[in-house]
Amino acid sequence: MVRKVTVSLLCFVYIATCYCGKQVYKIGGLFIDEHQKRVFETATGIVNKNLRSSFKLEAHSVVVDTRNSLLTYNEACKLLRKGIVGLFGPSSVHSSPYIQSLCDLKEIPHLETHRYLNLDKDHTLVNIHPHPKTLSKLYFNLVEAFDWHSFIILYDNYENLLSVSSLLEFNSLGRTVVLRQLQINEKSEIDGYRPLLTQVKLTGETKYILVCSTNILETVLQQLQQVGMMTDIYRYIIANLDMQTVELQPFQYAGTNITGVRVMDPESKTVVDTVKRVHRSFKLIEDKAWKLDLESALIVDAVQLFYETIFQFTEDQKSSIRTKPIDCKSYDSWTGGYTIINSLKTNSVGGLTGSVKFDPEGFRTSFNVDILELTPRGLVTVGEWNSTDSNIKSKRVERVTLEGKKRHLFNRTFTVLISLSKPYAMLKENTAQLTGNDRYEGFCVDVIDELARILGFNYTFTVQEDGANGNLDKLTNEWNGMIGEIIKGTADLAITDLTITSERETAVDFTMPFMNLGISILYKKPEPVPPSLLMFVSPFSVSVWVMLGVSYFVVSITIFVMGRLSPREWQNPFPCVEEPEYLINQFTIRNSLWFTIGALMQQGSELAPIAISTRTASGIWWFFVLIMVSSYTANLAAFLTVETLVTPFKNINELAAQKKSNTALRKTEQQLITSDHPENMVTLNEDGVNKVETEDYAFLMESTSIEYATERKCTLAQVGGLLDDKGYGIAMAKDSAYRNDLSRAVLRLQETGVLTGLKIKWWKEKRGGGKCSRKPEGGEATALDLQNVGGVFLVLFIGALLGFFGSFMELLLYVYQKSKVMSLPFKQELKRELKFFVELKQNVKVVSEEVAADGTTEKSLLDYKL
């Protein structure tokens, strides 16, 4: 025990002596927060542990609002007045230029850790942040390795965008690079980045470069997940060196391919030790959650670099450095400064962020990065990149599974035969001269690209010039087209709309089908039928109309009967006579019919029921009318707006029946055409489609091609379902060793929805797809044509004619009765009436003398009135 204490005491005395006799060099630090200050102080503490040195560093640091350049400048002057030998920070684009000028003027070594670009080799500044231009080369190499032909860069500000600036060069290489700024609309802040993300999602692009500040990175990832962009078809490269400090756990199970980079390994011993030390210096318990970010690691490295430089300098010179307090207001400067700066620029140390060294210009262009991929186990290093040779040492930067690596497909190069048939493979529409695989695009091109990613093989496309898929010549027993090429061995794989058939299977091997389809009928879209003249009767079926008529008569008779039965309906015709000789009833049979029709037509009839019974019956009738009229109106609106479409046939049987061939019903679709009309055969699908468009012609084609045509030619449609079931596969030489691997990868693409996504992309989105599903602009209701309401006019006309005819008949009857009663010639009386009718000006009709002289005649004439 005593020995232990003695040893400790001796050590303490030794250390104390070492420290006490040491020269002290002050270093200043300007930082944006308490964490950076602590890191700076901790780093100074670490370097001072070197017992061999004859000096120690003394940290003088302040936290300052670096956006305020004047304040920062004043704080720097205070530090200079203390006689510092080096100034660290501030990490700010706002105040850094001022501090840099001050240090240049006063010849004080200045060490920056921020990505600040305005760096001149003659300056006193040393910036140990990896140079943005070099970083951008890294992202360029990554995109090249992934072979992305199109992608979107999502960036938050121009400063961050600079670190991926070289990616824009891909545009001139014929690839599509789209830039979208992550901005929040002030009016709908609550939506965050979601509206923008939804917009980019609709473009169908699945590859993204995410360049944003660490403080918003997690929010952006969360919102990407919320808009459904964190599924396994999406790929992201996160261009942020602090990616590992962000909480990525919620995204690691989604299967999304997230790649990132880092310059320091948070699990390395030195990093873990430094973090522990910084934590120990924190008083507050909540700071335990703090993670070492890049900038803090660079502060540690900067302090270490500075220490090592001073150490070497003093060792070489065998003397100490003379320090001097500097006043900002004087013209004074520290003459020893430049010597230290030059040593800093030529020195190198192994820091937390790897080897810290500078090129002759003073830029930190030489550094290594780890390429990371987010997996269910967290971030996994899948590759390395070195700035010196700009080369990705691919442990695995492609999405190659471990099993994939083991298989013999890995790193093999295949010749893939394609056929230029839409949308399976097409020449890119590009003004720039393209070469190699870049020349082609299409569904099959993407499928091969996806398979290569999974299995890790390389590929070169060649084109089947004659576009023939492959048929067996029965005479020579030789295969032509793509199948022939595979047999000859000129290509390893063949992919297009190549149907797997039993015959082809005898000559080559196929993978599992990557697309399922069948034969179907392509025909013109059904034409709308012109509306019938009597459309207004359509809302009710015949039985309803009949029931309505019957109800009308029944109710009219009921009211008539009720009227007669009910004493209250018998009314005094002369209200002034208290005791009338007789009573009258308003509900005669004619009035009852008129009363009910008035209600049915939603009009009045001037007849008002008085008795409870007639009122009840009328009320119920009105209720019935209300429901019937409302139903009629609602249904009529639907009938007037809905177009009825007619198809001459609805399936293959009806089509065959149209050909008036009894046997055709049981014939295959090909026989249906060839047997009866060989002239109807076409060699190219396109010719068939054109014939359907221009002639009365139904074309039997593969459903995939029908779908492609109907997405673009809106007058065409598929009629009926599929007539058979088949699939397209990738052909390869018989007994190929890689068939199973390819089949498994195809199934994986199917299960993960990649194939569906590609189908939508090439059928419905690219090259004019989706044209026919777009809604017409405006969408307001169209005006009704005369055809729609013609029947109503017809009824009006017929009704008016009937009325006119009725009134003429009434007149004839009246004249006949009158001539009979008064023993006048019928003709003469009719003439007199007609004469009066023709004199249109006469509005007063004089009662004829004969009638006027005899009151009875007049009375009797009343009875003839209809």
Binding site for ligand GLU (CB under 6 A): 469, 497-499, 685, 701-702, 705
* CA 24 centroid distance within chain: 62
Q: Which three-class secondary structure string do you get for 635-677?
A: HHHHHHHCCCEECCCCCHHHHHHHCCCCHHHHCCHHHHHHCCC
The Cα 743–Cα 752 span in angstroms is 14
- The CB-of-712 to ligand GLU minimum distance in angstroms stands at 16
Give me 614's structure tokens: 């007639």
Q: Is 375 annotated as a binding residue?
A: no
SS3 234: coil
Taking the least distance from each CB to ligand GLU, the nearer of 520 and 705 is 705
User: What is the spatial distance between Cα 685 and Cα 522, in angstroms, rounded to a whole number?
Assistant: 11
What is the residue whose two structure tokens read 């015959």?
A: 503
Q: Is 499 annotated as a binding residue?
A: yes
Q: What is the DSSP-derived secondary structure letter of residue 688?
A: H
Residue 702 labelled as part of a binding site: yes
Q: What is the DSSP string of 691-742?
A: HHHHSS--EEEEHHHHHHHHHH-TTEEEESS-SS-EEE--EEETT-TTHHHH
- Phi/psi for 330 (5° steps) reads -90, 170
Looking at beta carbons only, is 702 or 829 nearer to ligand GLU? 702
**Chain mean position to CA 28:** 52
Beta strand ranges found along 687-765 (DSSP E): 699-702, 716-719, 726-728, 731-733
For 638-644, which contacts have Cβ atoms below 8 Å and span 24 or more sequence positions? 638/539, 639/535, 639/538, 639/539, 640/531, 640/535, 640/784, 640/788, 640/789, 641/781, 643/528, 643/529, 644/528, 644/529
CB of 163 to ligand GLU, least distance (A): 48
Give whichever of 111 and 755 is closer to ligand GLU, judged by the CB atom: 755
Nearest distance in Å: CB 501, ligand GLU: 7
Residue number, 30 or 498, with CB nearest to ligand GLU: 498
Report the distance separating Cα 440 and Cα 450, nearest Å: 15
Complex with ligand GLU: residue 259 or 685, whichever CB lies closer: 685
From the list 243, 236, 234, the residue with the least C-alpha distance to 261 is: 243
At its nearest, how many Å lie between ligand GLU and the CB of residue 763? 15
Measured from the CB atom, the residue of 340 and 731 that comes closer to ligand GLU is 731
- As given in the structure block, the two tokens for residue 661 are 């061939």
User: Nearest distance from residue 655's CB to ligand GLU, in Å?
Assistant: 19
The C-alpha atoms of residue 243 and residue 65 are separated, in whole angstroms, by 26
Half-sphere exposure of 105 (CA within 13 A, CB side): 16
- In angstroms, rounded to a whole number, what is the distance separating the alpha carbons of residues 356 and 348? 5
Alpha-carbon span 538 to 541, nearest angstrom: 7
Considering the complex, what minimum distance in angstroms separates the CB of residue 377 from ligand GLU? Answer: 43
* C-beta closer to ligand GLU: residue 513 or 539: 513
The smaller minimum CB distance to ligand GLU, of residues 310 and 746, is found at 746
239 within 8 A of 139, measured Cβ to Cβ? yes
Element (H, E) at 338: helix 337-346
Could you tell me if 275 and 292 are in contact, meaning their C-beta atoms sit under 8 angstroms apart?
A: yes
Please state, in angstroms and rounded to a whole number, the distance separating the CA atoms of residues 56 and 23.
Answer: 6
Query: Which C-beta is closer to ligand GLU: that of 469 or that of 591?
Result: 469
| Least distance in angstroms from the C-beta of 496 to ligand GLU | 8
Overall size of the chain counted in residues:
866
Nearest to 596 by CA among 622, 569, 627: 622
Q: How far is the CB of 701 from ligand GLU (least distance, A)?
A: 6
User: 127 or 705: whose CB is closer to ligand GLU?
Assistant: 705
Q: How far is the CB of 180 from ligand GLU (least distance, A)?
A: 39
Work out how close the CB of 726 gets to ligand GLU at its nearest, in angstroms, rounded to a whole number.
8
Nearer to ligand GLU, 447 or 617 (CB): 447
Whose Cβ is closer to ligand GLU: residue 209's or residue 495's?
A: 495
Query: In terms of CB distance, is 128 or 515 closer to ligand GLU?
Result: 515
Backbone angles phi, psi at 59, to 5 degrees: -80, 130
Q: Quote the tokens at residue 748.
A: 């994986």
Contacts of 478 (CB under 8 A, 6+ apart): 472, 484
Q: Minimum distance between the CB of residue 197 and ligand GLU, rounded to whole angstroms?
A: 39
Question: Which single residue is written with the structure tokens 């335990």?
Answer: 288
Cis peptide before 423 (omega within 30 of 0): yes
Three-state secondary structure call for residue 188: helix
| Min separation Cβ 517 and ligand GLU, Å | 8
Please, which residues have CB within 8 angstroms of residue 575's CB and are 6 or more apart in sequence?
Answer: none
Report phi then psi at 644, rounded to 5: -90, 130
Q: Is the peptide bond before 250 cis (omega within 30 degrees of 0)?
A: no
In the complex, what is the shortest distance from the CB of residue 705 to ligand GLU, in angstroms, rounded to a whole number? 5
Compare residues 516 and 541 and give the one whose CB is closer to ligand GLU: 516
- The minimum distance between CB 500 and ligand GLU, in angstroms, equals 8
- Least separation in angstroms between residue 446's CB and ligand GLU is 19
Give the angle subtended at the CA of 590 by the CAs of 584 and 592, to the nearest 5°. Answer: 80
- Residues in contact with 108: Cβ distance below 8 Å, sequence separation at least 6, in sequence order: 80, 84, 85, 86, 87, 102, 124, 326, 334, 337
> Residue 125 in contact with residue 110, Cβ under 8 Å?
yes
Choose between 490 and 670: whose C-beta lies nearer to ligand GLU: 670
Cβ atoms of 773 and 765 closer than 8 Å: no
Binding-site residues for L-glutamate: 499, 504, 702
Binding-site residues: 499, 504, 702
